[in-house]
Structure 1
Amino acid sequence: MNQTLTILTGAALMALVAGAAPAQDTAKKKLYCWQENGRKVCGDALPASAVNSARTEFSAKSGMATARVDRALTAEERAAAATQAETDRLAAMAAEAKARRDIAMAQSYATESDLRRAFQERIAVLDETVKASQLGVEGRRQSLISLLRKAGENELNGKPVGSGLSDNIRNQHAELLRQQNILAQQKIERAAIDEDLAAALERYNAMKAAEAARNAGG
C-alpha cells in the first residue's frame, strides 16, 4: 500500500518502509522525499503533483539517500540552458581550433624570425592596399570638388546647374563615401594585424619554451 506522510527523522523513514512493503520486497523499493506546501513529505511513491519537484531518493533497505533529483526546469530555464550549452559548444570549438592553429604555427616556423617574416609579408600587402585606397579617396574628393565648383560658378553666373551635373555630383559623393568606408575598414585590419603578430609571438614563444622543457625533462 502506498503511503505519504510528513517526515522529521531518519527513524520515520524506516517505519514507513516497514509499513509500506513486505520484508522480501524492501530491497527493491525506494522512498522519496520532497517539499510540499513548505513541509518535507516522504512516501514510497510519487504523486502526480510531486513528479516535477526536487526530491531525494532513499534505499528502502538501508534508509540511506541514493540520489538527488532536481526540479524540472521551466520553459524559460530550458531555453536559457540550451542557449548556454550552445555557447559553451561554440567556445569549445573555438578553443580547439585555436589549439590546432597554435600547433600548426609551431610546426610551420622553425624560428621566431620566420614567424615575423610571414607576418611582415601580410603587413606589406595591407600597407600597399591602404596606400592605394588613400590615393583613390583623394582623387575622388578632388573630382567632387571640381564638380561642386562648376555648379557654384553656374549659379553665380545665373545659369542652371542642370540635372546631368547634379546627378554626377550625387554619384561622385556616394562613391567617395563608399571608398572612405572601405579605407576605414582597411585601416582597422592593418591595426589588428599588429595585435595578431604580438599575440602569435607570445603563443609561439610559450609553446617553444614548453617544448624545450619537455625535451629537457625527457
Structure 2
Amino acid sequence: MNKLYAPIALALTAALLSAPAGAQEAVKKKLYCWNEAGRKVCGDALPASATDSARTEFSAKSGMTTSQVGRALTPEERAAAAAQATIEQQTQFQLAAQRMREHAMAESYATEADLRRAFSSRIALLDDTIKATQLSIGGLRQSLISLLRQAGEAELAGKRVPANLAGTITTQHNELIRQQAMLVTHRQDRGEIDAELEHALQTYRALKGPKAAAGPGDGDA
C-alpha cells in the first residue's frame, strides 16, 4: 500500500514546487485593518502612515486573524516602560538578597530561642526609646501649660506678653510637635520589628523543619 501512495505524494510535492510564483505569493499575502482618523481602514498593503498604528493582520487565503500588532510607544511611554523594567529588576535583586539573608539566618541560629534573642536587643532598645519619648512629651506639655498660663495672666492684667515668653512658647510648642511625630515613627518601627520577627520565625521554621523550636537536648529522653 505504501508503494501505491508513494507516486501520488511525489506528484503533489512536485506540483507545489512547480507552482507559479504568483500562486505561492497569494498564499502568503496578508490583509491589514487599522484605525485612521477615527475610522477603520482595511487593505492589502500597509501605508507608511500606519506602520506605528495598532492593527490586525489577516491571511488573504483563509481570512483568519494571524496577529495583533500594538501601536508604537511614545517616547514618554518607552521611558516609563524602561523605568518600570529597572524597578522590576531591582525588586528581583532585592528578593534574591533577601533569600540569601534568610538562608544565612537559618545557618546562624541553632534554635528559635536563639533567633528571638537576636531580635530582643532591638526590641528592648525601641521600647526604651518609646518610653523616653513619652516622658519627654509629658514634660514638654507641663512646661508649655505653665508658660501659657503666664501669658494668659499677663493678658488678663492688660499687659503685653513678654517677647522672650512668647518665643519660648513657640519654641516649646514646635518641639512638642516634633517629639509627637517621633513617637509615631518609633511606634511604627516597633510594629514593623514585630512583623519582621514573625516573618523571620516562619521562614526559619520552613528552612529548618519541625525541630527548629527545640533547643539542644530538648528532644532527648
Match of 1:144 in 2: 144
Task: With a CA cutoff of 8 Å and minimum separation of 6, indicate the structure with the bigger relative contact order.
Answer: 2
What's the TM-score, normalizing by structure 1?
Answer: 0.67
CA distance in 1, matches of 2:141, 2:19: 90
Q: Which residue of 2 aligns with 1:178?
A: 178
Instruction: Say yes or no: does 1:206 pair with 2:212.
Output: no
Asked whether 1:35 is paired with 2:32, we answer: yes
Would the alpha carbon gap of residues 159 and 107 (structure 1) be closer, same or farther in structure 2, given more than 3 Å must change? same
| Identity across matched positions, percent | 46
Structure 1 CA distance, aligned partners of 2:44 and 2:112? 68
Could you list the runs of 5+ residues in structure 2 that have no partner in the other structure? Answer: 1-16, 34-39, 60-65, 213-221
| Structure 2 counterpart of 1:121 | 121
Distance 1:20 1:170, change over 3 A: same
Letter in structure 1 aligned against 2:95: A
1:189 is paired with a residue whose SS is helix
Pair 1:151–1:77, CA change in 2 (3 A):
closer
Q: TM-score, normalised by structure 2?
A: 0.66
When residues 17 and 69 of structure 1 are mapped into structure 2, their CA distance, relative to the original with a 3 A threshold, is farther
Asked whether 1:88 is paired with 2:85, we answer: no
Aligned AA for 1:171? T
Deviation at 1:195, TM superposition (A): 1.0
Give the count of matched residue pairs.
179
Q: Any idea what SS the aligned residue of 1:160 has?
A: coil
**Long gaps (5+) in structure 1:** 1-13, 59-66, 213-218
Shift of 1:39: 4.0
SS in 1 for 2:159: coil
Shift of residue 82 of structure 1? 2.6
Describe the SS at the equivalent of 2:30.
strand
Q: Distance in 2 between matches of 1:15 and 1:34?
A: 26
